[in-house]
Structure 1
Amino acid sequence: MRFIDLEELKPSIQHLIPALEATQAAVVAETDPVKRAALINGNRAQWVALRTAFEAYSHGKCWYVECKNPGTDDDIDHFRPKLGVKEEPTHPGYFWFAFDWTNLRLSCHRANRPRVNPEGAGTGGKAGHFPLVVPTARAFNPANGKGQEVPALLDPTNPYDVAMLTFQQNGEVDLSPEFKGQAMPEAKLAASRLILHLDWPAFRDARVVLYNKIQRTVDRGVREAPNDFSGNVAPTEAFYDAVRDLKNAMKAEEEYSAAARVYVESFKHIWWVRDVVLRVVA
């Protein structure tokens, strides 16, 4: 998961916002729940129209897990669900955010759609889920806005949430060390691991492959690296290739680039990884 800066994204969708705001006003003004739901569903094309810009910003990657899905159209997920909340059956859904573009996230099918984890980890998929760290803080109407809600799902548009997440060598997600043992981050990780399918086998296995590739690249660099910065021995082209390959693995456009950064940093005890690779990465 990389930080998605909505302020950076906004200029590319600016021309679509007036129509979204107009529809949002109509939705909030409609007091009949059935008519309101029909109005929301009937204007689905307005949020789908954001997909191209969302994909361009994240280089075609799911905002939740950083995978690419070139053979399918990613979903536009309503972070706060628009027509109901799984955790609160009496909730009408956050209809007052149905056309708020800042409530929308680009999601792959696996992170968004209900599926049973084949390894017995439970049924996940974002869909209509929106658990809270404190369930009693839930907002129920437009006057409440977001109230005092603290979502229990990690949000890629929240830099604090993105900072919480790290990755193990076995491909599983984990909390960054500085957040370990804190109730709120622990709750967020547990909920996100299940509901967003962060440890779905295909995602986990891809991160393992990535770690092994980075380890082999580091080994290649170690064989070719000079002993220090003295300049007495000129670095070989093979060494520069290793540096370049590690740097490229962490580029924003690469799949699982946040995991790549964590994996490269795990080798920072090696002088050239610490003093060269991690200094030239964007």
Structure 2
Amino acid sequence: MRHIELNNLHLPNSWKKKASRVHTRRIRAKSSLQEIKEYIKSNGTSVWKPTKRYLMKFSHNKCWFTEANNAISSFHIEHFRPKKKVKKLKGTWKYNEQTRNWNVGYWWLTYNWRNYRLCCDILNSHKGNYFPLSIGSLVATNPTINHSTEDYVLLDPTVSNDVKLLGFDVATGEAIPKYDERNYPVEYSRARISIIVYHLNEDVLLLESRKQKLKELDKLKKRIVQNIFKFKQVDAQNLAAKKVISDILSDYFQDLVDLLNPKLLNSTYTAMVKVYLDELALTESWVGKYVFPRARKQNLI
């Protein structure tokens, strides 16, 4: 999961005006919850579907939650706060849910583009209407209550601090909480619940795709280590040979930097790549000396 800065997303003014001045105004004028749900049913996907191509372009054709491209699955517009109803989590959780009227969703946000998230089919089908709030949280049940003050549980890719709570096991490619449960119970629980609700480790194609990315990283690491060894073996006076190897290494270093760049179509799972490089830097000094400086210069880390 990589941070998506919503303030930089630009949608056509014509769509935003119609969404706010027509649909939102009409839905707020309804006198009953049933009428509201009927309106959403009649004015649903066809209204927000046109925004999908803008959201795809904004994230360079990658799911906002998984960083998978559309080779894994098709994309959908996910209403982060469910529009019609909210579904209760099953099982017992350390981070319990606030009691609410489960039949009432965030209907007034149905046509609010800031509630839209681009997600792959895998996530869309499993996240569904889940939107747990922590015990004691304010519950926004109507548009007069500020929903932004809710203490929500699921990690939101549009919130920079949320994406920092998710880590990866670079041996398996599985998503894991970045912080331990004992010292950071809230952060751990939010990440753990998000991993389960979003099915970040359940889909075979998604997990296999992450594993392939790790294999790609391992191959690059091996080539770099081999060429560093060759460089050290070359006689100091053989400047031409050293130049050749140095250029090869420079290209490999840039290849790693490119894998951190979410703007490149094939650079999927950049958050996992960063975790991989962080761990590699503990044993390989060249990561901190040659890779990270380039990445910082390009504002990738």
Q: TM-score, normalised by structure 2?
A: 0.81
Please show how residues 11-90 of structure 1 align to structure 2 within 5 Å. 11-22=10-21, 23-44=23-44, 45-70=46-71, 73-87=74-88, 88=100, 90=102
1:109 aligns to what?
121
Change in CA separation of 1:168 and 1:13 when aligned onto 2, cut-off 3 Å: farther
Please show how residues 73-152 of structure 1 align to structure 2 within 5 Å. 73-87=74-88, 88=100, 90-113=102-125, 125-134=126-135, 137-146=138-147, 148-152=149-153
Task: Tell which deviates more after alignment, 250-259 or 56-65.
Answer: 250-259
Alpha-carbon separation, structure 1, partners of 2:72 and 2:41: 25
Alpha-carbon separation, structure 1, partners of 2:6 and 2:181: 25
Alpha-carbon separation, structure 2, partners of 1:247 and 1:14: 36
Alpha-carbon separation, structure 2, partners of 1:127 and 1:21: 24
Following superposition, the deviation at residue 208 of structure 1 comes to 2.2
Mind listing any 5+ residue stretches in structure 2 that lack a counterpart? 89-99
1:255 aligns to what?
268
Contact 2:165 2:188 in 1 (8 A): no
Following superposition, the deviation at residue 54 of structure 1 comes to 0.2
2:223 aligns to what?
220
1:197 aligns to what?
199
Please show how residues 145-224 of structure 1 align to structure 2 within 5 Å. 145-146=146-147, 148-169=149-170, 170-177=172-179, 181-200=183-202, 201-224=204-227
User: Which of these two proteins has the greater Rg computed from alpha carbons?
Assistant: 2
Change in CA separation of 1:100 and 1:69 when aligned onto 2, cut-off 3 Å: same
Alpha-carbon separation, structure 2, partners of 1:84 and 1:62: 24
Contact 2:167 2:175 in 1 (8 A): yes
Alpha-carbon separation, structure 2, partners of 1:177 and 1:205: 24
Contact 1:165 1:176 in 2 (8 A): yes
Once the two structures are superposed, residues 188-221 of structure 1 have per-residue CA deviations (whole angstroms, 9 ceiling, x without a partner) of 1121111111112332232222222212211211
1:267 aligns to what?
280
Contact 1:91 1:140 in 2 (8 A): no
Mind listing any 5+ residue stretches in structure 1 that lack a counterpart? 114-124
Change in CA separation of 1:260 and 1:72 when aligned onto 2, cut-off 3 Å: closer
Please show how residues 228-239 of structure 1 align to structure 2 within 5 Å. 233-234=242-243, 235-239=245-249
Number of residues of Structure 1 aligned to a counterpart in Structure 2 = 268
Change in CA separation of 1:105 and 1:217 when aligned onto 2, cut-off 3 Å: same
SS of aligned partner of 1:208 = helix
Contact 2:64 2:118 in 1 (8 A): yes
SS of aligned partner of 2:144 = helix
AA aligned opposite 1:255:
T
Contact 2:177 2:192 in 1 (8 A): no
1:4 aligns with 2:16: no
Change in CA separation of 1:173 and 1:128 when aligned onto 2, cut-off 3 Å: same
Alpha-carbon separation, structure 2, partners of 1:74 and 1:152: 23
SS of aligned partner of 2:291 = helix
Contact 2:75 2:119 in 1 (8 A): yes
Contact 1:165 1:173 in 2 (8 A): yes
Following superposition, the deviation at residue 90 of structure 1 comes to 3.7
Once the two structures are superposed, residues 18-37 of structure 1 have per-residue CA deviations (whole angstroms, 9 ceiling, x without a partner) of 11112112212212222211
SS of aligned partner of 1:106 = strand
AA aligned opposite 1:17:
K
Alpha-carbon separation, structure 2, partners of 1:198 and 1:180: 23
Change in CA separation of 1:127 and 1:140 when aligned onto 2, cut-off 3 Å: same
Alpha-carbon separation, structure 1, partners of 2:181 and 2:220: 30
Alpha-carbon separation, structure 1, partners of 2:74 and 2:14: 22
> Percent identity of the aligned residues?
25
Change in CA separation of 1:47 and 1:159 when aligned onto 2, cut-off 3 Å: same
Contact 1:84 1:93 in 2 (8 A): yes
Change in CA separation of 1:83 and 1:280 when aligned onto 2, cut-off 3 Å: same
AA aligned opposite 1:25:
R
AA aligned opposite 1:16:
W
Following superposition, the deviation at residue 72 of structure 1 comes to 5.6
SS of aligned partner of 1:107 = strand
Alpha-carbon separation, structure 1, partners of 2:201 and 2:71: 21
Alpha-carbon separation, structure 1, partners of 2:292 and 2:14: 38
